[in-house]
Structure 1
């Protein structure tokens, strides 16, 4: 082979080698434009995260994100078949993650509401460590749901419900009373405990009242802050009194000196009026001149005292009622397994979301397999002295609106009839309502979601 031919051959080989080693790859934005299934999967994940589902099925969504990243990497190399396989696997994983998240959301409905209220009170910032610890427990419960252990997940509810409620209340207290606590601490440092103990006591009482308002009704933040402001004023007043008494001591004031100083202060207050104070009269006559100007303030203080006593009485009554309601709720909750029903407390009322109550397709007859569950519902109702009961039927979105509404109404009436004729519940206290597909608790686009939406709910009203 001539030198010229060898050179030409080497050049051709080089071009081929460079072409093989520098195969074009797609940018990430190109991948989303080229592979619609990747873009759709990414959008679905983003919506789930925006809806707060990631914490409700953390392991499943982590795996789904991994599959998305794998698909993007394969797409950049234009490996079409591998992309298709990875996306099929990803959709299976994401379907399960969403279903698990729906289950967790239903199982932890009250916990998630308590968490929302805690965030609204800025507990995630003010009580950051405690809040993170509670969120960790929520993720652990969600992981147990993912593993299918609903009973284990259910056991977390009381602890988390109490925990989120406590951090919400503590955050509200700290936000409302921070300045008052500081002012009282400064008064103590100034020795007001020794020189102005009565005034400092008033400050402490106002602080306690601010806290009591929040413990009774957490929405009364303005009222609590007003009491905290009064606590600050009294604390600062005790500091001023302490400094004044110390000044009298340093100047070695006699009793007469103190009284003359007192009359001078009254005279200064009275300077803006036309009438001079009659210091040649008994002190009560002098005070009477100014007393009328303070009448409105005195009436306000009297009203506040009455309010404080009434608040303490109502707080004790509310606490007693809450304890009784919680004890009844715990008893009813223990009647049902996680597979049978979700039990929710709504104030003094109880909502039973029946998960295991089944009707034949398109039918309204109660199946024998449901008799035991119905007996438990009757037991729950009879835990109350004379409750009203609302039975509501719900369907999925398959079929027409009117058909679903009619079917759900008939099923609700069938259950209500059983509660009357077999359970002994007075008919006048029973209401049956069919909502059809109008109140879904899950996504109707999946079989798991549709199954969750086909349900009977029993609301036991004790208010």
Structure 2
């Protein structure tokens, strides 16, 4: 105990209340409490005039406590905040029971003084415990509190103890213990990040091992395990590299999924002769080759490698043709836009020359005609989509297409073949309304962390944009892809249907 301590916490009622309050806490904290009660400088409790309205005074103290709680004062100065909160409750209880007004106002005055102390120590703690506090925030953001409740609760108690060290003016202890607290929070954050990003892949690999992957698919197992280990190591060294982590984790998940597919195929073919396996693969390649060639005529006998080379060559030709057509279409669209702009310019100049007096009337008529034309185009687009495919809304001169039929799987960001017809209709709608540009908005539900959802929604918007650019001939510069994460829900995230609706993509066609 500090030998220089000579002042005492004023008033016997303070001592009794403080002592009884701590008796319900951990026995190990009695020494700390005794120090604060016995050796802390006397509180400057400013009395409140008896003429004051006790109800208003109690409300004011409660509001001050609520503000302090929002500012997390209770984290940085737990003892003094608890005392202020107890004084507030004491005053409120006296009011409800019709107690003595002076005693009521005394409790409020004492609570204000205690809250002032809490704010003072919190200001010191925010500086001294800055690193510990940031580590705590990062762990919470990563989902550690939900995933590892017991471990998180344990380190939370240690963080509270740091605040008590600051209250006791034992800054050296707070700094030393704070280093260990930071380390524990960081470990929990890392565990949470790895669980969110690699948990599914790890479980798929474990399932494959249980199903005999060591014996039946050793190469695929080794590739999946190597990818898992590399991604795990990268996360350990770069826990803030969100986009790179997501990309690596997606690759690891793909390899783990492929491992299970290979394992299943090996088991399926386990009872089939090698000749039948080769014939089955050859039959499939022949069908693909015939489809790409656009006919079903008999072809010369080929090896499997020759079949693959033939298919790859045909695909290259198709890709080159598609790129050429996209380029030509983009050029034609740009030329048409220039022609329309030039025509409108000449028409405007002509109208201004021959009839200045009727300029406003001409513009109003043109606007009305344009409005009718836009309304007809928008109505035509609305009729294109079924209610299960999309909802179409007009927003001024823009058109919003809410793609209800484009439901991404949880945690995934890729377009499936079943979505191609719907996206083709989006491209057709763009041409009908003569959209000058587009905005693709990606949205998610609240599953997972906000950071991961933000990246996932951006990736979903990006893959839709890529499909429109690659297959619709649109210029990439004219399509803006934005991810909003879970920030703009259209349904409650408390139900499976609501979360499914929130995992959506909106396409906005800008006609102006």
Q: TM-score, normalised by structure 2?
A: 0.47
The CA distance in 1 between the partners of 2:315 and 2:184, in whole Å, is 46
In structure 2, the partner of 1:53 is: 73
| Residue 52 of structure 1: how far off its partner (Å) | 0.7
Distance 1:71 1:281, change over 3 A: closer
In structure 2, the partner of 1:186 is: 207
User: Structure 2 matches for 1:12-411, cutoff 5 A?
Assistant: 34-76=54-96, 77-251=98-272, 253=273, 255-274=274-293, 280-281=301-302, 284-292=305-313
Question: Are the aligned partners of 1:134 and 1:163 in contact in 2 as well (CA < 8 Å)?
Answer: yes
The CA distance in 2 between the partners of 1:146 and 1:232, in whole Å, is 48
Please give the root-mean-square deviation of Cα atoms over the aligned residues, in Å. Answer: 2.9
Question: Are the aligned partners of 1:270 and 1:277 in contact in 2 as well (CA < 8 Å)?
Answer: no
Distance 1:282 1:162, change over 3 A: same
Question: Are the aligned partners of 1:195 and 1:245 in contact in 2 as well (CA < 8 Å)?
Answer: yes
Gaps of 5+ in 1: 1-31, 297-463
1:395-451 residue CA offsets vs partner (Å, 9 max, x unmatched): xxxxxxxxxxxxxxxxxxxxxxxxxxxxxxxxxxxxxxxxxxxxxxxxxxxxxxxxx
1:193-244 residue CA offsets vs partner (Å, 9 max, x unmatched): 2111111222223323433443343343344334333333333333333333
Aligned residue pairs: how many? 264
SS at match of 1:218: coil
Distance 1:243 1:87, change over 3 A: closer
Question: Are the aligned partners of 2:54 and 2:101 in contact in 1 as well (CA < 8 Å)?
Answer: no
Out of 265-274 and 172-181, give the one that drifted further: 265-274
Out of 89-98 and 167-176, give the one that drifted further: 89-98
The CA distance in 2 between the partners of 1:293 and 1:149, in whole Å, is 76
Question: Are the aligned partners of 1:141 and 1:153 in contact in 2 as well (CA < 8 Å)?
Answer: yes
The CA distance in 1 between the partners of 2:316 and 2:140, in whole Å, is 44
The CA distance in 2 between the partners of 1:295 and 1:173, in whole Å, is 39
Question: Are the aligned partners of 2:54 and 2:105 in contact in 1 as well (CA < 8 Å)?
Answer: no
1:146-204 residue CA offsets vs partner (Å, 9 max, x unmatched): 12211111111211111111211211111112221222122112212211111122222
Q: TM-score, normalised by structure 1?
A: 0.52
Question: Are the aligned partners of 1:190 and 1:239 in contact in 2 as well (CA < 8 Å)?
Answer: no
Question: Are the aligned partners of 2:288 and 2:311 in contact in 1 as well (CA < 8 Å)?
Answer: no
The CA distance in 1 between the partners of 2:170 and 2:298, in whole Å, is 82
| Residue 292 of structure 1: how far off its partner (Å) | 4.4
Distance 1:143 1:282, change over 3 A: same
Distance 1:239 1:37, change over 3 A: closer
Question: Are the aligned partners of 2:292 and 2:314 in contact in 1 as well (CA < 8 Å)?
Answer: no
The CA distance in 1 between the partners of 2:154 and 2:184, in whole Å, is 10
1:352-404 residue CA offsets vs partner (Å, 9 max, x unmatched): xxxxxxxxxxxxxxxxxxxxxxxxxxxxxxxxxxxxxxxxxxxxxxxxxxxxx
SS at match of 2:292: coil
